[in-house]
Structure 1
Amino acid sequence: MEPSQVRNEAELATAAQLRDDAILRARADVPSQGWRRLVHAASRGVVNPGPGPGEQELRALLERIRSPLESPRRIAVSSIKGGVGKTTVASCLGLVLAEHRGDRVIALDANPDAGTLADRLTGESAVTVRDLLDDLDHVGSWTDVSRYTSLAGRLQVLASEQDPAASEAFNRDEYERVCEVLVRFFTIVITDSGTGLVHSAMKGTLELADSLIVVGAPTVDGASRASKTLDWLLAHSYGDLVADAVVVLSCDRSSAEIDRTRIREHFESRCRAVVEVPHDPHLATGGRVTLGRLRPATRDAFYELAALIADGFTPGD
């Protein structure tokens, strides 16, 4: 082979060829939980039953949750009925996304009636979105923004104004100004909105939202209110947002007289997906939310919700 040919072939080689999957020898998939992990550890690796179906499903969900994202996404969590778990859903979604993704995630409480998002996540609400608004012109760095947030694990939290009289002043223009700053420093902004769809800040939330989560319950009033939320959105030209929405049914209250299958089918016909969150004693206390204290079925429901939201994180969005 001529020297010139050797050089030409060498020039075609790039660092991209040295990927893990190209240069590492294949290794057996080792289980990390349950009896399978115990058997593998006790036999010092001689016996490897491999991951079970549950672990494989969890890994698949986590892979979806970690979908790449090239531009900021704003996720609105809403309901026109209070007490159905809207803030709980926003809290758990934020915790899951922040824990399992490498980018920055913030949960913003846009409830005009002294919201409880910060109480559920960090217990710190002395500094609020109102303080950030007052100093917005002086916020130019990540360090500046972090002075107005509290931390729950890897999730940043921006509390709502706790004085209802003052929080009423949080209008659409102010919400948009806050979001404009947040998307400069955070890849994912989760907004826990109020229950009033006609409130000025809610209009701003819907206008900017890339994804929508509507929270309801498998009860007559909870399901009806969630469906009326969709009706209102469709009547006000948010059809695309509704079609791509995920409905979360919080199953804290349940009754054998309710046909949950029919409720689920109703919302599946109207939106992209439905997630049912089972009753969980830890969430039912109304106190600080900790993912590690959730029952496995509850944790899996929020992983499914996070995966559904992340399915829309396609490159170039």
Structure 2
Amino acid sequence: MTVTSLDLLADIAAARPAHLRSTHGTRGALNRVGFRLGLSRTEQDTEDRRALVRRQLTSPYQIAVISVKGGVGRTTTVATLGSTFASLRPDRVVAIDANPDFGDLSARTARHPYGLTLRDLAQSPNTDAFSAVQSFASINDSDLAVVASPWSTKAIEPLTGREYTLAAEVLRRHYNLVLVDCGTGMLNSSTATVLETSAAVVIVTPPTVGGVTGAVATLNWLGAHGLQHLFGSAVVAIVHHHQKRPTVDVDQIETLFATAQRPTCVLPYDAHLAEGGAIDLRLLDKSTRLAFEELAARLAEGFPDHLTGSAASFGDR
């Protein structure tokens, strides 16, 4: 049997494969003085998690972020989650403020220099070029595009489902991943339209009896109103607003949602997020950044496979 040069090259390449080396902790310190140690378990977990977050999309994918109560951290979650996706993914990520009542996503990300909103985009006749569509968005430090809510003190009409549909159809032609900050009214026109067109949903709740009750009611509402696909793809984000221990045991909350086979992600209290201003991922605590990457990875496991159409397995990272 004749051995080809390609076979020889393959054998040679396999003999001494290159590998990433640790740059942190004791292993990183040893590498800096001449050792050649590979990644630690924590570093490898980070690589695997971020690879899942970067999972390729071959068609637009929309994630709705909802809560039945105001003031639970929904907009903060959208801003930080969207920024996390945008900072790690090579494609285009946009966050839409579809809250018809006092939408303030731009306050947590970046304000548009000319005050353009989702309504302006819906009414624009020029949306063929990406540059034209991008002009309606503000861009934050993580390269997240943000389209603001039309709510203002001068507004006389709330955002309608038709306006959202027109604008969202444009955005889905130009952006791969779309996150939507919904209002608290599950039955209002714009929120209903968002839910009908979304592939996944994040239900935001504080670790309180009232919050958990609302999250359970939201899951049941989705299942009872023809949105079983959202029930099956829902992730519950448990948001801590205070440093002190919550009155409800978070482990019990996670167990409760596990009975419905719904995953949970705990988002810890973070002083930077509590400030209420524009969010900069570089100012987050390490544990907070990790929690949002875990949430992004959990959602990314639901991205359809471009060959089979099935979702990834979070355990296969």
Query: Which residue matches 1:37?
Result: 28
Q: SS at 1:108's partner residue?
A: strand
Query: Which residue matches 1:251?
Result: 240
In structure 1, the gaps of 5 or more residues are 2-8
- CA deviation string 1:123-159 (max 9, x = no partner): 3371111111221x22110011011111012111101
Report the residue type matching 2:258 in the other structure.
E
Aligned-pair CA distance for 1:182: 0.6
Matched, 1:67 2:55: yes
Query: Which residue matches 1:240?
Result: 229
Report the residue type matching 1:267 in the other structure.
F
CA distance in structure 1 between the partners assigned to 2:271 and 2:189 by the alignment: 35
Q: 1:113 touches 1:164 (CA, 8 Å); kept in 2?
A: no
Match of 2:299 among 297, 309, 314: 309
Q: 2:137 touches 2:145 (CA, 8 Å); kept in 1?
A: yes
Matched, 1:281 2:271: yes
Q: 1:112 touches 1:164 (CA, 8 Å); kept in 2?
A: no
| Inter-CA distance 257–88: structure 2 relative to 1 (3 Å threshold) | closer
In structure 2, the gaps of 5 or more residues are 310-317
Q: SS at 1:99's partner residue?
A: helix
Match of 2:145 among 134, 147, 156: 156
Q: Alignment length, in residue pairs?
A: 301
Q: 1:243 touches 1:270 (CA, 8 Å); kept in 2?
A: no
Report the residue type matching 2:49 in the other structure.
L
Query: Which residue matches 1:175?
Result: 164
CA distance in structure 2 between the partners assigned to 1:22 and 1:223 by the alignment: 54
Q: 1:67 touches 1:314 (CA, 8 Å); kept in 2?
A: no
Q: SS at 2:97's partner residue?
A: strand
CA distance in structure 1 between the partners assigned to 2:13 and 2:165 by the alignment: 46
Report the residue type matching 1:275 in the other structure.
C
**Root-mean-square deviation (Å):** 2.6
Q: SS at 1:138's partner residue?
A: coil
| Inter-CA distance 22–307: structure 2 relative to 1 (3 Å threshold) | farther
Query: Which residue matches 1:131?
Result: 120
Match of 1:79 among 55, 67, 80: 67
Aligned-pair CA distance for 1:248: 0.2
CA distance in structure 2 between the partners assigned to 1:69 and 1:170 by the alignment: 29
Match of 2:199 among 203, 210, 228: 210
Query: Which residue matches 2:81?
Result: 93
| TM-score, normalised via structure 2 length | 0.87
CA distance in structure 1 between the partners assigned to 2:109 and 2:30 by the alignment: 38
Map 1:257-272; keep pairs closer than 5 Å.
Answer: 257-272=247-262
| Inter-CA distance 298–77: structure 2 relative to 1 (3 Å threshold) | same
Report the residue type matching 1:250 in the other structure.
V
- CA deviation string 1:167-223 (max 9, x = no partner): 743211221111111111000111011111011001100100011110001111211
Specify the structure having the higher radius of gyration (Cα): 1
Q: 2:50 touches 2:293 (CA, 8 Å); kept in 1?
A: yes
| Inter-CA distance 257–195: structure 2 relative to 1 (3 Å threshold) | closer
CA distance in structure 2 between the partners assigned to 1:176 and 1:23 by the alignment: 52
| Inter-CA distance 167–69: structure 2 relative to 1 (3 Å threshold) | farther
Q: SS at 2:63's partner residue?
A: strand
CA distance in structure 1 between the partners assigned to 2:39 and 2:251 by the alignment: 31
Q: SS at 2:155's partner residue?
A: helix
CA distance in structure 2 between the partners assigned to 1:273 and 1:96 by the alignment: 19
CA distance in structure 2 between the partners assigned to 1:184 and 1:24 by the alignment: 46
Report the residue type matching 2:184 in the other structure.
T
Match of 2:155 among 160, 166, 171: 166
Query: Which residue matches 1:191?
Result: 180
Aligned-pair CA distance for 1:309: 1.0
Query: Which residue matches 2:314?
Result: none
Q: 1:245 touches 1:271 (CA, 8 Å); kept in 2?
A: no
Identity %: 35
CA distance in structure 1 between the partners assigned to 2:304 and 2:228 by the alignment: 21
- CA deviation string 1:99-143 (max 9, x = no partner): 1111100000000012111110113371111111221x2211001
Aligned-pair CA distance for 1:22: 6.5
Report the residue type matching 2:223 in the other structure.
L
CA distance in structure 2 between the partners assigned to 1:230 and 1:196 by the alignment: 14
